A and B are shown apart, each in its own frame.
Chain A
Amino acid sequence: MIGSLLDLIRRALRHPSGRTGGLLLAVLAVGALLGPLVLPHPADMPDVVAGATPPSAGHPFGTDQLNRDILSRIATGGRISLAVATLAMTLSLTLGCLVGLVAGYAGGWVDAILMRVVDAALAIPRLFVILLLLVVWERIPLAALIVVLGATGWFATSRLVRGEVLRLRHHGFVLAAQGLGAGPARTITRHLLPNAAGPLLVAATLGVGDVILLEAGLSFLGLGIQPPVPSWGGMVLDARPLIVTAPWTAIFPGAAIVATVLAVNLMGDALQAALDPRSA
């Protein structure tokens, strides 16, 4: 299964959107991982007196209102944002897969009940639920935030997985496996899941973009990730009073958000195209 996923990624990288997205993602990921280690200025040493300074040789992205290097903050913030997004997405994926596989394979009333739950959950706006939760729970720890984001995002995935399972259940190779004596566990893990993995990967990639936007929005509203932990949304929030006098304090974090979501969407597009068996 890993082999076929790698193969899919390889094919996606052949598309121009895949290459662009992949490159962008790679830059962002490397920047987020290594940046805080190699960049000269720390992300967090407030100097109220100095204030915001425009981009210069020493500070390529300038400094914010507390004279903290914006580039470093973006790198550190990137770590947080990307980690939150990836972890939340993984949680969503796992939950969605589990429910989808069980519903699709078992069928009958199990399927019916599970899908009605999913239907009900999909009817409630995600942002609403999250906002409600975060307003009540003001100082939410990071781990809890990830769980909240992940637990509210698995519904569509479960539908997707269920659809794939239903589609594949009657294919010859599934019947053949059962004819050989394969039980449900083997059928699901070796035959159904790997063939559903393609669309799953696409959904997952696009889902990461969703979570990043969601998290940035929450931070911008003052919920979600709290200072002093840097986050891109939080940086934009802090930049609000300075937007006219020191626009770079808002532009760079904003650009980082855009770049990440763009990269992720491009990658998702390319994966989608690569899934189509007619592409090279």
Chain B
Amino acid sequence: MSPAPLLEVTDLVKQFPGRGWRRARGTVHAVNGVSFALAPGETLGVVGESGSGKSTLGRLVVRLLEADAGGIRFAGVDLRALDRRGLRSLRRRMQMVFQDPYGSLNPRMRVGEIVREGLEIHRLGTGPERVTTVARLFEEVGLDPELVRTYPHQLSGGQRQRVGIARALAVDPGFLVCDEPVSALDVSVQAQVLNLLTKLQQTRALTYLFIAHDLAVVRQLAHRIAVMYFGRIVEIGPTDAIIGTPHHPYTRALLSAVPVPDPDRRTARIVLSGDPPRPTAPPPGCPFFSRCFHPKKDVRCTTELPLLRPVGASHAACHYAEVPVSVPPPPPPA
């Protein structure tokens, strides 16, 4: 019997009013009916390109943004129904690590103060106890505790990101939303932070919602992967299944497009043609239709929105997911 999920999201919707003078500009459905569940100790990777809604999803789940419709249950508690006080105390249990190591730290605060703030807000420990906690946190994330009195601009990108992680860990959360935590870092530093996150998951029994655009990065940490396109999950399943046997055409294209540092790469590249639909005008059918290369795609795809259904080891939102797509043979080596 599997443990109760830590996070349960049901049919989550978030719209943004369209920009521009007239209402006629339309609303953007950033998140358009997303459902999934997260088990404790699990890492769910959410991948998607710009406009997929993955970052919005991350903020909705911790209620930094208010959803328009749908349900979020965290540890059995209905998150959307909480009042301010209830939300505040629940915030201790779920934290967020942000993408931008430059903008996510207050430039006017010393990094020690930044990490300490969570303790102050929730009145955890006495003054001297907080100092020790902060020092321990610094060590835990691999920072020299001597750096406590420095300002963010004096640190490197990798160090700043560690400060962000320490800040999130200060209140001892069980759940962390990582929103593109390594995208802005140098390649040689990315690995450091990724390894740190992996280690922390083990030592602290953390659950992660890991949002990224880079499948190769997500693969390092995620037990399951959800692929988002145009505000919806188009495929979700165990990491190996998604990477090894993708069922949704978009997943295939995404996998194929990831640059691989191997000049002798054998698999062919799928290069998508066509454009994605305008964000303000979601089509009634499958949003991927305009770029889809599946041989079986037909009228049904334009009229009927495919829903997530079990295919193989994963769930895919495609009417023809079972039909294998024959990938053209790789070009002969030059």
Contact = CB atoms under 8 A, between A and B. Distances in A.
Q: Do chains A and B touch in the complex (CB under 8 A)?
A: yes
Interface string B104-115: 111111000010
B117 interface: yes
**Max count, chain B CB within 10 A of own CB: residue among A173, A182, A194:** A173
A1 B109 CA distance: 8
Contact of A195 (B62, B64, B107, B167): B107
23 contacts: A1-B108, A172-B103, A172-B104, A173-B103, A173-B105, A173-B107, A176-B105, A177-B106, A178-B64, A180-B117, A180-B118, A180-B121, A180-B167, A180-B171, A181-B91, A181-B92, A181-B121, A186-B121, A190-B106, A190-B117, A191-B106, A194-B109, A277-B153
A189 to B, nearest CB: 12
Contacts of B278: none
Contacts of B48: none
Given A175-B59, A179-B95, 13 more contacts: A171-B104, A172-B100, A172-B105, A173-B107, A176-B98, A176-B164, A177-B117, A178-B64, A179-B91, A180-B171, A181-B121, A190-B106, A277-B153
Contacts of A175: 59, 64, 96, 98, 104
A194 B105 CA distance: 13
B297 interface: no
Contacts of A172: 98-100, 103-105
B58 to A, nearest CB: 11
Nearest to A172: B104
B122 interface: yes
A176 B109 contact: no
A195 B106 contact: yes
Interface string B228-247: 00000000000000000000
B19 interface: no
A175 B121 CA distance: 15
B104 A182 contact: no
A195 B164 contact: no
Nearest to B171: A180
B315 to A, nearest CB: 30
Interface of B: 59, 62, 64, 88-89, 91-92, 95-96, 98-100, 103-109, 114, 117-118, 121-122, 153, 164, 167, 171
Contacts of A176: 96, 98, 104-105, 164, 167
Contacts, number: 65
A172 B181 CA distance: 12
A181 B88 contact: yes
A197 B109 CA distance: 13
Nearest to B65: A175
Nearest to B105: A173
A173 B121 contact: no
Contacts of A177: 106, 117
A168 B118 CA distance: 20
A178 B65 CA distance: 11
Given A4-B108, A173-B104, A195-B106, A180 B95 contact: yes
B108 A182 contact: no
A175 to B, nearest CB: 6
B171 to A, nearest CB: 7
Contacts of A195: 106-108
A181 B106 contact: no
Given A176-B167, A181-B121, A182-B121, A171 B64 contact: no
Contacts of A191: 106
Contacts of A181: 88-89, 91-92, 118, 121-122
Nearest to A196: B108
A137 B106 CA distance: 48
Q: Indicate the member of A1, A172, A175 with the most B CB atoms within 10 Å.
A: A172
Nearest to A186: B121
A175, A182, A183: which has the most chain B beta carbons within 10 Å? Answer: A175
Nearest to B151: A4
Contacts of A180: 91, 95, 117-118, 121, 167, 171
A186 B237 CA distance: 41
A173 B64 contact: no
Contacts of B118: 180-181
Contacts of B122: 181
A194 B114 CA distance: 14
Question: What are the 5 closest A-B residue pairs judged by CB atoms, nearest first?
Answer: A172-B104, A194-B108, A172-B103, A181-B91, A173-B106
Contacts of B104: 171-173, 175-176
A190 B167 CA distance: 16
B101 to A, nearest CB: 9
A218 to B, nearest CB: 38
Given A176-B164, A179-B91, A181-B91, A190 B62 contact: no
Nearest to B120: A186
A179 B62 contact: yes
A277 B114 CA distance: 21
A157 B115 CA distance: 32
A183 B122 CA distance: 11
A40 B108 CA distance: 47
Nearest to B103: A172
A142 B83 CA distance: 50
